[in-house]
Structure 1
Amino acid sequence: MTTDSGAAQAPTGPVRVFLVDDHGLFRAGVRAELESLAQDQVQVVGEAGSVGEAVAGIGHHQPDVVLLDVHMPDGGGAEVLRRVRPTHPSVVFLALSVSDAAEDVIAVIRAGARGYVTKTISSQELVKAVRRVSEGDAVFSPRLAGFVLDAFSDRPGAAPISDPELDLLTPRERDVLRLLARGYAYKEIASELFISVKTVETHVSSVLRKTQLSNRYELSRWATDRRLV
């Protein structure tokens, strides 16, 4: 939502929003919350559960703002950005993710997202965030802005953009590790990530193997050292 000169302007009506997340229940919940809370401020015009659906849907609906999940089975938010932004430069992307890991924040901002908020955000704050990015502001959940400042800074002590050891883990393994390090039980992790307890156990075993650690306490320290918690 910019003028011909590139200066952002306040939206004159509801911000047209497109939802991208591979969990249908989550999309339904966000849609219901936005539609019941702020019909005069936000209008959900479409949704998608995969990268391919997102690219097609955004092209069809031409939304003002895309609420974009970071991790999806077929490529994730960065892939959506890569495929959409060249042909639809006026569409604004706001990442909405369970992950608050520095590497996820940095990757999606580098790809072109205007902001990044976590799924712990309240419905009221999400509406405000959507409105703000549509007006040209950059919006981040608390503490995430520091990751971006570090990544685009050459000052001493800035957070590294990549970590070879961390790069060995898949995005889902990082999600599981992050919650494990915060003290979540396997059942709670499964509920949070919409996966089975057996799948959680499989991911934990894989992380232990890749990191060559022996228990969750060592994993917690490893995760903390890499600012995943």
Structure 2
Amino acid sequence: MTAEQQGAGQAATGAGRVPPVRVVVVDDHAMFRAGVRAELAGAVGRGEVDLVAEAADVAEAVAAVRTHAPDVVLLDVHLPGGGGVEVMRQAPAPAGTPGTRYLALSVSDAAEDVIGTIRGGARGYVTKTITGEELVAAVRRVAEGDAVFSPRLAGFVLDAFTGSPDAPPVAAVDEDLDRLTEREREVMRLIARGYAYKEVARELFISPKTVETHMGSVLRKLQLSSRHELTRWASDRRLL
């Protein structure tokens, strides 16, 4: 094979290669961002994904999106500075282009978070229990324009956007939750589902002592006296 033929073959191979999906990871917990990097490492090594930036709050996320114009933003729902919806509001896609697409990746699977995030502009919503392989597939599908949801979350969205009478009362739930910080909401939901303090700590990358502190604050703010009452409170509001 001549040098010219070899060069032509290499060019053809390069031309047929699918470019990597350029991704920005947004989460206020450094340990979780490190976990996402680890889950996506195989795809990065294969050239399927390119992690172009990370951000820990709304301001950093907006700056990263404007600077890098990624294909997909893996976006936590609850962030310092206004939350994931605020990122999408401040960094919209340019008119007439596909622009950046957003895939929510959150510990929360509460109806009001799912519906509010999709109404804010996200193309999908998956929970942090997703496997690395599933996450890569979700990123690729969102980049291609598909809508992607963890299985039980799709029903929330269908109910909300088809006007189903079973759709959760989002505005009312938000008003009740306003007393709690974002971290307290995360702890509250896991405790209400029956998680032990150590299990919550592992899930949220915090210490059991910090979980205990947040739990005490939750009970005090909601004027509840036990995790049994908390579970009933959360169940009544369809947060489980």
In the superposition, the TM-score normalised over structure 2's length comes to 0.83
Cα deviation, residue 69, structure 1: 0.9
2:57 alignment partner AA: S
1:197 equivalent among 197, 208, 227: 208
| Alpha-carbon distance in structure 1 between the residues aligned to 2:113 and 2:206 | 20
| Alpha-carbon distance in structure 1 between the residues aligned to 2:207 and 2:100 | 35
Cα deviation, residue 104, structure 1: 1.1
RMSD: 2.0
Specify the alignment match of 1:91 in structure 2.
100
Residue 105 of structure 1: SS of its match in structure 2?
Answer: helix
Specify the alignment match of 1:160 in structure 2.
169
Cα deviation, residue 86, structure 1: 5.6
Residues 148-203 of structure 1: CA deviation (Å, up to 9, x unaligned): 12222323232212223334333222211111012212232223222333332232
1:32 alignment partner AA: A
Whether 2:28 is the aligned partner of 1:22: answer yes
Q: Structure 1 pair 32/197, CA: closer, same or farther in 2 (3 Å)? A: closer
1:83 alignment partner AA: Q
Assess if the C-alpha contact under 8 Å between 2:103 and 2:126 holds in 1.
yes
| Alpha-carbon distance in structure 2 between the residues aligned to 1:148 and 1:167 | 22
Specify the alignment match of 2:60 in structure 1.
53
Most deviating of 101-110 and 180-189: 180-189
Whether 2:72 is the aligned partner of 1:65: answer yes
Specify the alignment match of 1:117 in structure 2.
126
Residue 151 of structure 2: SS of its match in structure 1?
Answer: coil
1:213 equivalent among 219, 224, 228: 224
Specify the alignment match of 1:81 in structure 2.
88
Specify the alignment match of 1:227 in structure 2.
238
Correspondences of 1:105-144 after superposition (within 5 Å): 105-144=114-153
1:85 alignment partner AA: P
1:33 equivalent among 36, 39, 53: 39
Identity %: 67
Cα deviation, residue 55, structure 1: 1.2
Q: Structure 1 pair 185/212, CA: closer, same or farther in 2 (3 Å)? A: same
| Alpha-carbon distance in structure 2 between the residues aligned to 1:53 and 1:22 | 10
Count matched residues: 219
Cα deviation, residue 146, structure 1: 1.3
| Alpha-carbon distance in structure 2 between the residues aligned to 1:203 and 1:186 | 10
Whether 2:181 is the aligned partner of 1:175: answer no
1:42 alignment partner AA: V
Greater Rg, structure 1 or structure 2?
2
| Alpha-carbon distance in structure 2 between the residues aligned to 1:54 and 1:121 | 22
Assess if the C-alpha contact under 8 Å between 2:168 and 2:238 holds in 1.
no
> Gaps spanning 5+ residues in structure 2: where?
1-16
Residue 143 of structure 1: SS of its match in structure 2?
Answer: helix
Cα deviation, residue 118, structure 1: 0.6
2:229 alignment partner AA: E
Residues 10-69 of structure 1: CA deviation (Å, up to 9, x unaligned): x94211111111122221221232132353321111111221111111111111001111
Specify the alignment match of 2:11 in structure 1.
none
Moved >6 Å (runs of 4+)? none
Residues 69-95 of structure 1: CA deviation (Å, up to 9, x unaligned): 111222221111111016586110001
Specify the alignment match of 2:8 in structure 1.
none
Higher helix share: 2
